[in-house]
Amino acid sequence: MRLLAIFVCSILALQLTAQKTGQRDFELGISAGASWYNGDLNPSKHFDRDHMNRAFGISLRKNLNSRFALRAQLNYGRLNGNDELSQATFQQMRNLNFTTELYEFTTTIEFNFLPFDALIRKKRFSPYIFAGLAAFHFNPITQVEGNEYELQPLQTENQNYSRTTVSFPFGFGLKYAFNDRVILSADWGLRKTWTDYIDDVSTMYPAQEDLTGLSQDLSDRSLEQVGGDGTNWNTQRGSSRTEDWYTFTMVTLSFRIGPKKGSCKHLRI
């Protein structure tokens, strides 16, 4: 019986040499890194200490072959912007700020520049790119004299926008398998959104009669009035030429799920 098992195992090993691979396995991962936003209150700064916040996530990757993989992720991050941090006079005079927690579910497809396989020593490293589709939820909050206010219900630009929408994630990264089970990856992923209200700022100060009370107070917090009628109403508040962006840069530790293929450990001798 022992000899028969060894013989069967040898035959299977010969037949499955091409299948001794982790190319079609799943990987379960945990992520940590940073998130930030680009928009009216932070037009262009990346990796800026004042705008970077902690971010976390979990992911499930399905390896399709040595070149392509599908990945689903749940991510959490914080975004913030503050006109006081800008060097631009217009922003300093506008005097707005916001923070928001952001929850994201994203699915992406990855392309490995090098053949990647955690079970083959010579194929345990590769740069990769990815792109996909994400849904995310945000809720901009501003701080005034120690108090916090949710901005979307106040309609500070007389607009009722949705706090749940979609984005287009894309980016690049590196992955390395320490062994046939543990994979480390790091990537920089930008998100192009189709909303300009992550920061609650997009177009114009509305007409004064369109807002009342707290909505009016939080719409115009400017340090000075510049309009022709001595107010800021119906003047420029933000720019709607481009939508808001946000970014996750993450390090992920993944664990391959499944037996080591090509072995005969499942045979009981």
Please tell me the predicted confidence (pLDDT) of residue 144. 93
Q: Which helix (H) or strand (E) element contains residue 77?
A: strand 68-82
Determine contact, residues 243/196, Cβ cutoff 8 Å.
yes
CB atoms within 10 A of CB 266: 7
Please tell me the predicted confidence (pLDDT) of residue 160. 94
Q: Domains in the chain, start-ordered, CATH in brackets?
A: 24-257 (2.40.160.20)
Q: How far apart are CA 176 and CA 246, in angstroms?
A: 26
Please tell me the predicted confidence (pLDDT) of residue 21. 53
CB atoms within 10 A of CB 157: 24
pTM: 0.86
Please tell me the predicted confidence (pLDDT) of residue 17. 41
What is the block-wise mean pLDDT of the chain (269 residues), using blocks of 10 residues? Answer: 44 43 81 97 95 98 95 98 95 97 98 95 96 98 94 96 98 96 97 97 95 95 91 94 95 88 44
Alpha helical stretches, state H, the chain: 2-15, 89-94, 213-219
Helix (H, G, I), strand (E, B) or coil at 215: helix
Strand partners, 61: 27, 71
Q: Measure CA 210 to chain center.
A: 35
Burial (CB < 10 A; 0-12, 13-18, 19+), residue 4, is exposed
Determine contact, residues 169/193, Cβ cutoff 8 Å.
no
